[in-house]
Structures are given as C-alpha cells and as structure tokens.
C-alpha cells in the first residue's frame, strides 16, 4: 500500500505542477507550500470498502503532507455503489472546476472521463484502463487528462511507466 501512495502522490504533484505552470504567468518557481493557492480536489469513491477507503485515506494524507493542510481542500463523495451517482458526482466536480479529480474504482474513472477532458483526473483501483475506457490501442498510458495506477499486480512495473 505504501508503494501505491507514493505513486499517487508523485502523479498528483506532477499534475498540479503542470496545471499551475500552464496557468501561471509568473516565472518564479516557489514551492506549493509557500504559495497561497488552495487546490480543490474532488474525490469520487464508488463504494465504501476497506481497500478503497485505504486508498482514499492514503491519497489525502500524502497530498496534505506534500502541499500543506492549508493549501488543499478535499470534497470526498461516495457513490454508494451506483454508477449513475458517480456520474452526478463527477459532473458536479467538473462544473465546480476542481483542480483535480480522484476517481477510486472503475465506474468513477468512467464517470470522470465522461465529465471532463480538461481537468486532470487521477485514478486508483482500476484493473484495466483499456477496457474501462474502451481504448482501441493501449501502451500503458491513456494519453489524455487521465493518469493513475491499476490494481493489477505487479505495482513496481507500473511505477516505471
């Protein structure tokens, strides 16, 4: 689980840094903790489950540790196992223009992907991105605003991509 948290944090920080760099006209390179920016992160978890709960908790802890408690605001919502509720949640995150959407489980990935093509989406607990997103060709990266980890072992090989 520690490896998954490390991968998620690295991906999140990279996505946020790229987003901030793309929106910033300043050439200064101050760290996230020294800026006044508060990142809004919407989290859509498909269902309450020990493994999914642990992934969401670990993500929030590591992002908070990296950015600082005063620089991140989480909106964590649970779809209660209903994919149409996940769609509503992710559509709301998109309309609220969250800085990042974390989807936790395949239905959350599909809902977030349908909701936005511009907001960075980070996913966890997805077994097969190619099947989930109906991708014709898949080389291990989605090639859009989506990144994340698969729950398909081995995790160490995913980190190298």
DSSP 59-73: HHHHHHHHH-GGGEE
For β-strands 72-78 and 121-126, DSSP reports them as unpaired
Cα separation of 154 and 132, whole Å?
19
pLDDT of 57: 94
What would the pLDDT profile of 50-61 be if each residue is shown by its tens digit? 999 999 999 999
How much is the pTM? 0.77
Cα distances (angstroms) measured from residue 3 to each of 55, 99, 116:
11, 24, 28
pLDDT of 69: 94
Cα separation of 38 and 54, whole Å?
24
Which of 157, 155, 109 has the alpha carbon at shortest distance from 132? Answer: 109
Instruction: Kindly give the parts of the chain with pLDDT less than 70.
Output: 1-34, 153-161
For β-strands 72-78 and 100-104, DSSP reports them as unpaired
pLDDT of 129: 85
Burial 72-86 (b: 16+ CB within 10 A, else e): bebebbbbeeeeebb
């Amino acid at each position: 689980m520690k490896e998954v948290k490390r991968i998620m944090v690295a991906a999140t920080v990279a996505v946020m840094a790229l987003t901030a760099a793309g929106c910033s006209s300043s050439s200064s390179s101050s760290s996230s903790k020294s800026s006044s920016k508060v990142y809004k992160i919407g989290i859509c978890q498909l269902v309450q489950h020990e493994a999914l709960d642990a992934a969401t908790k670990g993500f929030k802890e590591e992002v908070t540790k990296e950015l600082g408690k005063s620089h991140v605001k989480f909106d964590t919502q649970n779809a209660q196992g209903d994919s149409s509720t996940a769609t509503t949640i992710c559509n709301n995150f998109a309309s609220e223009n969250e800085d990042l959407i974390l989807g936790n489980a395949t239905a959350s990935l599909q809902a977030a992907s349908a909701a936005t093509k511009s907001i960075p989406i980070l996913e966890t607990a997805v077994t097969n991105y190619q099947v989930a997103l109906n991708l014709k060709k898949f080389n291990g990266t989605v090639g859009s605003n989506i990144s994340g980890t698969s729950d398909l072992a081995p995790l160490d090989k995913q980190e190298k991509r």
